[in-house]
Amino acid sequence: MSVLVSTTYGQVEGTVEDGIAVFRGIPYAQAPVGPLRFRPPVAPEGWTGVRPALAYGAAAPQPRPDGAVGDIFSPGHPTGEDCLSVNVWTPDPGASGLPVLVWIHGGAFLFGSSADDLIERGAFARSGVVTVTINYRLGVDGYLFVEDDPDGGDYGTLDQIAALRWVRANISAFGGDPDRVTVAGESAGGTAVCALLAAPAAQGLFARAIAQSAYPDPLLSQESGRIIARELKERLAALAPDLDSVGEVRELHPEYVLQAVKELFEDVANRDAARYGPEIAAQMNPLMPVVGGAVLPERPLEVARDGRLADVDLLIGTNRDEFRIVFALGMMSVADELVDALFEATFPGRGAEALKVYAQDRPDASKVDLLAALETDRSYRVGSTRLADAHAAQRPGSTFCYRFTWPSTAFGGAIGAAHSVELPFVFDALGTPMAEALTGPDAPQRLADDIHRAWVAFIGTGDPNHAGLPEWPAYDGDTRPVLELSPDHRVVANPGGDELALWSDTAASGA
């Protein structure tokens, strides 16, 4: 059964699937090609008649990650240049005032898409939430720093803002309330949410924010952007010596750019601070939002500490074992004998003490497990905690923090409560192929019920509490109450506080 909706650019035709109206591949901007490459997104041209919105739009051009990561997270549909589109799931396009979720996918700002079998379930729409997922430019196209361009390094962020503007202008036609928009994401998507909290052009486009497993501290400086731009130019010169610029190679040999970017990501993982500087070496991500231009004049934490973040409710948290997936899946390997040196490099003069602190609550942990805990904090928990502290000080009573602690049985149980394992629970999509790849079989449905209901409650009201949870208190920076999400939910004051205290005078990601 088909269903029609009128947008500001023309009518679109979707389908009704199990009682949910679904619209796929609606453009929110023109294809960023030719003169529109490395430029802010441009509004789409309108159309006459009815435009079919039956198939997903292309995912942004991207390399395929190696191994299990690529198997789990690479798009299951084509990539392409004309990638700036949204998908909408709505329980009733004839309704009005429904809460809205805008989901920004993760993938290190390098891979991923607006559609996977978790999203395809449509669980939020079945729970009364109009759901929008977006594609945005990735890698070089989205985050290459371009000298003398005030938007350089942030085209992907501008895409996300353009998608939010499309939602603001059109979501009422799908039954949603433009004043009840929650922007949410995980990993790079959660980091994008943190950037949007500080982006002047995004203010007023959403009322609530959810940042899952974000790495907001720091985003890249312009100097780091310059380092990566030079590095890419040198790598591409070796592949295409007859061309003078990254832009020329991108137009004529896009496969060279994807190859160079993939190799660059692999090289940055070696943390060569002499080559890339301490910021990139610590963050291990060479292409992500750049701070200092028109889009992001300041770092989110700087804005937060001055009390100037977006005036929105915030749900933020991390997974207990974020980084274990990196070692368990072979994305990075470290010999046991090097772990002591890595702790010492992180905490100069205090490395042995810090290692003991991390070991005291993990009596059976291997050296690599302890390093994974350190990297979990460096990459995710410290920055997220600092942002929560600042947001709670700016807007008391509207910050809620979680820590996901259920250990996955996938990969022989080696990954624990790893990065991304919470996603099938948030989307109430246990049993799908992507979910089972992350959780293993027989993951607890009651936990999915509880987590999904909490997200729905927050999206609707700004408060994630519901009858299936213990009372979840609003967060404050003094007592730091955090709800541990597991089959036995419990509120813990400042979990891992002795470990967090080690970072009090240390920059989480080296800036």
Q: 181 pairs with which residues across the strands? A: 100
CA angle, 224 then 263 then 33, to 5°: 75
Helix (H) or strand (E) holding 393: helix 382-394
Q: Which of 172, 384, 398, 419 is catalytic?
A: 419
- For residues 360 and 496, the answer to whether their CB atoms sit within 8 Å is no
Q: Which of 103, 109, 101 is nearest to 73 (CA)?
A: 109
Within 10 Å of residue 33's Cβ, how many Cβ atoms?
14
* Catalytic status, residue 466: no
- For residues 100 and 180, the answer to whether their CB atoms sit within 8 Å is yes
**Helix/strand/coil for 401:** strand
Number of H helices, E strands in the chain: 19, 15
* Residue written as token pair 């939010």: 164
User: What one-character DSSP code corresponds to residue 378?
Assistant: I
Query: Distance between CA 137 and CA 62 in Å, rounded?
Result: 9
Using CA atoms, how far residue 363 sits from 352, 354, 357, 453, 491, in Å, is 16, 15, 11, 35, 23
* Catalytic status, residue 74: no
Beta strands in 371-493 (DSSP E): 399-404, 481-485, 490-493
Beta strands in 411-486 (DSSP E): 481-485
CA angle, 202 then 208 then 213, to 5°: 90
Query: Distance between CA 281 and CA 383 in Å, rounded?
Result: 16
Q: Which residues contact 395 (CB under 8 A, 6 or more apart)?
A: 309, 311, 312, 313, 314
Q: Which of 186, 231, 279, 322 is catalytic?
A: 322
- For residues 78 and 61, the answer to whether their CB atoms sit within 8 Å is no
Query: Distance between CA 430 and CA 136 in Å, rounded?
Result: 27
Q: Which of 113, 172, 187, 420 is catalytic?
A: 187
Ramachandran class of 346: left when φ > 0, alpha when ψ lies in -120 to 50, beta otherwise:
alpha
User: What one-character DSSP code corresponds to residue 332?
Assistant: S
* Catalytic status, residue 253: no
Half-sphere exposure for 23 (CA within 13 Å, toward CB): 31
DSSP 19-52: TEEEEEEEESS----GGGTTS---PPPP-SSEEE
Within 10 Å of residue 413's Cβ, how many Cβ atoms?
11
Query: Distance between CA 119 and CA 351 in Å, rounded?
Result: 42
Positions marked catalytic:
187, 322, 419
